[in-house]
Amino acid sequence: MKFEPLNTEQHDRGMVSKLIYKTEVEIFHAILGKNEVEGIKNIKSLIKVGNNLFGSENIHVVSDGDGGVLGILVSFRGDEVTFWKEFKAYAYSKILDFYDLLRYVFKGTLINELLTASIDPGDYYISNIAVNPEFRSQGIGTCIVENALKLAEDSGCRKVILNVTLNNERALEFYKKFGLKVTGKNTADWIFKGHETFDIEFLI
């Protein structure tokens, strides 16, 4: 088991895309595709294009040493990625048609404002964490979080922040083991019914 930056030539990009999609199915369905197949395809393209939230530069994987992906981490410094900064890079216009691009801008803006913690330049944001279902209960999640905290420290960040949906009690208990605490609550009930998130923070 090895934690390392995503290598698009070596690691299974399809599995990485699928794991990212599964972290927020409802949101990805709303902004990056009409169904799961299309959403995963678009994430896969964003990974390849780069210079965006889901560009390979922001992804680490836990691998089996032979290209197999056991888990993924999408994370970055607060001054490296913002919604409008990545949109201006035109990565999304390369993979989305005009209608889907407008939908992404509209709903993506709402998600960014309503469901995501406020990210300052000195913060380290954990966007997505997922473990391949075939390899759960093997310490992979712990490996990912421990390495995410190390990446944050190496980046000179003051704190680590992330969002967890309110009904994901298992994830909340898991993160508390690392000393992360709940600092806020977000809702966008009128656009994503029943979808609320907690802001979670860990001071380094």
Look at the chain and count its residues: 204
What pLDDT sits at residue 184? 77
DSSP letter, residue 56:
G
Rounded-to-integer distance, Cα 196 and Cα 185, Å: 7
Q: What's the CATH class of domain 2-203? A: alpha beta
What pLDDT sits at residue 71? 97
What pLDDT sits at residue 122? 83
CA end-to-end span of the chain: 26
What pLDDT sits at residue 114? 39
Residue 127's nearest CA partner among 156, 104, 148, 99 is 148
Give the sheet arrangement for strand 181-187, strand by strand: 2-5, 59-63, 69-77, 123-131, 159-165, 196-203, 181-187
Domain boundaries, the chain: 2-203
Tokens read off for 27: 């949101």
Side-chain-side CA neighbours of residue 75 (13 Å): 29
Q: What is the pLDDT of residues 170-184, one digit of tens each?
A: 888 888 888 888 887
Across the chain, which has 204 residues, the per-10-residue mean pLDDT values are 94 95 77 82 86 89 91 90 52 59 50 54 89 93 95 92 83 85 69 68 78
What pLDDT sits at residue 5? 97
What pLDDT sits at residue 132? 95
Mean pLDDT of the chain: 79
